[in-house]
A and B are shown apart, each in its own frame.
Chain A
Amino acid sequence: MGVFFEQLINGLTIGSFYALIALGYSMVYGVLKLINFAHGDFFTLGSYIGYTLLVFAVSFITAHFGLWGGLVAALLVAAASVALVGVFVERVAYRPIYPAGRLPAVVSALGASIVLQNAIMVIWGPRYQAYPAALIPNVHLQIGNIHITLLQILILVLSFALMGILYTIIQRTTFGAAVRATALDRDTASLMGINFNRIIFFIFTLGPALGAMAGVMVGMYYRQISFAMGWNYGLKAFTATILGGIGNLPGAMFGGLILGVLEMFGAAYISAAWKDVFVFLILILVLIFRPTGLFGEKVAEKV
């Protein structure tokens, strides 16, 4: 049982990374029907910015804000700067291309991904970088025979808080209703006076910001980051998005968590080498029987 709960916690931890990234995919997909391939690289960029802050501003930050202040600053600065990059990428690489349809936008998104990934490589170098161990809380907890770390608890609390905030904004505020309306029917929404560009601005700040925070947390959790890691996390997060049902935000969150848990259980009970195969097989099986994802609505096509 101990192993089970430990793997559950481990799974939820990486699942919450996937979920935070998946939210960005899902918001963009919901509103623009665009698979934003650059989103995984927003995540990487966040991770690197957090790394830089922690490494180069160690003495300054800790002197003024303490260890916790340093971590919070890293998260916030990474989120804010990646949000800026997100808006910039949308303006430059996507906005001029939406009118041409969704497929050209996919190519442009791939192009943006290549540019970001290689920019990160040029700036920080092609080798792995290590998060400074001294600045990461390293407390182990023993509850019964379950072994977890303080960092895992912090990650889970922060991730769930962020997801909760986003969920509240989307489901409970007028602005969230506008976002949902735009996702359902962009033309009608704009006839209702909803400013499309404001919605775009919102999803391209919040999505990358959430991804960036996930990036900083991944850096702290695994201690090691590489310029190409966004590709893999992005792919998993996109899988989570679809698993939950495209454009369905709670679906994306659950999809991410489920994916993380499946991955860890697959690794623990089947084989670490085959865990990703296991995850993709589950995805395919789910879609065979529920063609619009776990939480996607079953819509009969209007003929």
Chain B
Amino acid sequence: MNGSSPAVLETRNLTKIFGGLTAVGRFDLEVRQGEILSLIGPNGAGKTTVFNVVTGIYRPEEGQVLFRGEDITGWKPHQIVKRGVARTFQNIRLFPNMTCLENVVAGQHSRGASGVWSSIFRTRSQRVEESRFFEKADRCIDRVGLSRFRNELAKNVPYGRQRMLEIARALACEPALLVLDEPSSGLNAVETEELMRFLEDLIREDALTILLIEHDMNVVMGISHRVAVMEEGRKISEGRPEEIYRDPRVIEAYLGKEEN
């Protein structure tokens, strides 16, 4: 990825405080069009908090979030989704008692407009919209290879598949930026490999941009174009994977300072 691609997402001076504790402090990040950027760092470094601020679940105390140049700081989650940012959660948040298909269709919600009356009277535009919704959802579900589970309840789907289902739901939001929180956690080696190929496909074929939090270094090194490292709410390093790999500050953050 060359440095000249325009920034899709930008955070400036982002600060989030929980009861006097600074979870994220003066955090700057730039995610460029078409790249996979991995956010890594030890547990409690504030990575998920960054995600929650970016996707509108938390409101930052200070700083800005810009999406394609537009200031989206403090917007509600659904407004941010509509602009084109979709996400998944570290501890998988599906709609457990709804079918896989219904879960994915939910992602299409912000791409429709039908209301109470058009739904009750089944107007033409509402029916057209519904079939568009379900076609799109079917495509997303096929894409993550879950077609055979489409009418199963989400809670009955194996764990690894639930992760993919959550990604399918995010794709159904028709995002420009996909924000994935530890997508490989809980996956076995084969599933992780599939996930990596899949994410690369998304970048190549769908012109998506992906921001991910990841603990599995094979995934980070394998697919990231760039990596940003966080520690105690701050960014301590940023660069290409191989640079990060050798950065003494990063090694120290992960392994602790070597005492001589």
Contact = CB atoms under 8 A, between A and B. Distances in A.
Contact of A300 (B18, B48, B89): B18
A303 interface: yes
B159 to A, nearest CB: 19
Q: Which secondary structure characterizes the binding site on chain A?
A: loop
A303 B89 contact: yes
A303 B48 CA distance: 8
A258 to B, nearest CB: 26
Nearest to B93: A303
A300 B59 CA distance: 12
Interface in B50-78: 52, 57-58
A300 B19 CA distance: 10
Interface in B194-237: none
A35 B58 CA distance: 31
Contacts of B89: 303
A300 B89 CA distance: 16
Nearest to A298: B19
Contacts of B48: 303
**Interface extent on A, as a size class?**
under 10
Interface residues of B, number: 6
Nearest to B57: A303
Contacts of B57: 303
Contacts of A300: 18, 58
Nearest to A302: B91
Nearest to B18: A300
A300 B52 CA distance: 12
Contacts of A303: 48, 52, 57, 89
B155 to A, nearest CB: 14
A303 B52 CA distance: 8
Contacts of B52: 303
Interface string A262-303: 000000000000000000000000000000000000001001
A78 to B, nearest CB: 45
B233 to A, nearest CB: 16
Interface string B83-100: 000000100000000000
Interface in B122-164: none
A303 B89 CA distance: 8
A300 B57 CA distance: 11
Nearest to B90: A303
A300 to B, nearest CB: 6
B235 to A, nearest CB: 21
A73 to B, nearest CB: 51
B181 to A, nearest CB: 9
Interface of A: 300, 303
When A and B form their complex, which 6 residue pairs have the shortest distance between CB atoms, in order from nearest? A303-B57, A303-B52, A300-B18, A303-B89, A303-B48, A300-B58
6 contacts: A300-B18, A300-B58, A303-B48, A303-B52, A303-B57, A303-B89
